[in-house]
Amino acid sequence: MPVNMTRLANGMTVVSDQMPHLKSSAVGVWVNAGSRSEEANEHGISHLLEHMAFKGTETRSAVQIVEEIESVGGDVNASTGIENTSYFVRILEEDLPLAVDILGDILANSTFDEEELEREKQVIIQEIGAAYDMPEDRVFDHILEQAFPDQPLGRPILGTPETVQSFSSFDIDNYMATHYHGPNMILAAAGAVRHEDLVELGEKAFASFSMTPPKDLPIAHYRGGESRDVQKDLMEAQVVLGFEGRPFTDDNYYVAQLLAAIMGGGMSSRLFQEVREKRGLCYSIYTFHWGFVDSGLFGIHAATAAEHLEELMPVMIDELTRVIDDLTPAELNRARAQIKAGLLMGTESPSSRASQLSRQVVLYGRPRLLEEMEETVADVSVDDVKALAEKIFCHSVPTLSSVGPVRKLMRVDEVASRLGSTKPRT
């Protein structure tokens, strides 16, 4: 694939993957600043900024921004994450100049009008309320809060009603001035795009951003602990059991991804077969591994009825320890196939591919060839996965979060005892 990368004079990276068979492209700006970049008094400002970027610039009103994109059949959106914020447009080939111009405009020239700001604060406060009303969302906020307490990494991305209400246009300007600089930004595109055109458009649209180097993130410290949010009126209990994972750049990152696939990555996985299919102890169960720049979180999520909680956790723990002893080559090969398919399928979607490229530039300083990643996964052995499973499950302090009718759920100290791991500090 013709993947190209260029660094602009202001330090901004431009990366693209031309996909000749497509007539459309996905183009976006990825900024290496998210909720983890916030000071305590800035909690939620990354997400508020993402919303406000579409609320008007010096030359376009909020309505004009969306009308110009939708008048040519495109769409525009944005997303705030823990370690980055992205602004992206899906557009037809001939409308790439418009897409880049609008992206540059909303990031360089937003006015952050006070009336628009007050309206958007209320929208986000409603969004926070909606998330609180979703137990499956709340349980994931709690697991991060317990795994990384008193740290930006452990705080919910949306902020709180109090912090969101406190922000002014001046606060947003200051946050942008701290984090939105050329070296901290990536212009990425995939699909019907010529790299030299993208570079030329990027140089013009983002010329005002400075060469200021990025600010270092606060170091993550995984702690572990427990959050138990008892809600008797709910029919279903949401449970997440977590452990310290591996950073994106760690040699064992893909080993952890394979372990997650083996334990709960599909209907053939160990936890799905044992917990759901054979015993009927839950409606849903799956595993995940979130990699961050310098840490990670490996977790198991289960949704079940209150009467199954006492049996659920011992069965889960048995499966976590059993994989250390009897993992088979066939299971590892299935997990490899899942990851390979995911990598390849990601290249078939321009939006996924542009996001993939930007993430690779952040983590490795360059796009990684698919063959490199496939080789990395292929080199992982059964013994590698067993060794990491023992480190994660038996030597990492566990974290447990739950929401719903969870009074009968095993305590995190007993989870640690059964695994032979260290108990969380109280």
| Active site positions, annotated | 50
Q: What are phi and psi of 192, to 5 degrees?
A: -85, 80
Here the tokens at position 283 are 């409606």
The answer for residues whose C-beta is within 8 angstroms of residue 122's C-beta and 6 or more apart is none
The sheet with strand 3-7 has its strands ordered as 3-7, 13-18, 185-191, 24-31, 85-92, 75-80
Here the tokens at position 254 are 């893909």
Cα Rg for the chain, rounded, in angstroms? 23
The answer for residues whose C-beta is within 8 angstroms of residue 227's C-beta and 6 or more apart is 142, 143, 145, 146, 400, 401, 402
Q: How many CA atoms lie within 13 A of 13 on its CB side?
A: 24
Here the tokens at position 31 are 């900024």
The answer for residues whose C-beta is within 8 angstroms of residue 153's C-beta and 6 or more apart is 36, 82, 144, 218, 220, 292, 295
The sheet with strand 225-230 has its strands ordered as 225-230, 399-404, 236-244, 296-305, 284-291
Distance (Å, whole) CA 34 – CA 214: 13
Distance (Å, whole) CA 144 – CA 4: 36
The answer for residues whose C-beta is within 8 angstroms of residue 7's C-beta and 6 or more apart is 13, 14
Name residue, tokens 């990366």.
15
DSSP string, 151-182: SGGGS-TT--HHHHHH--HHHHHHHHHHH--G
Residues β-bridged to residue 404: 230
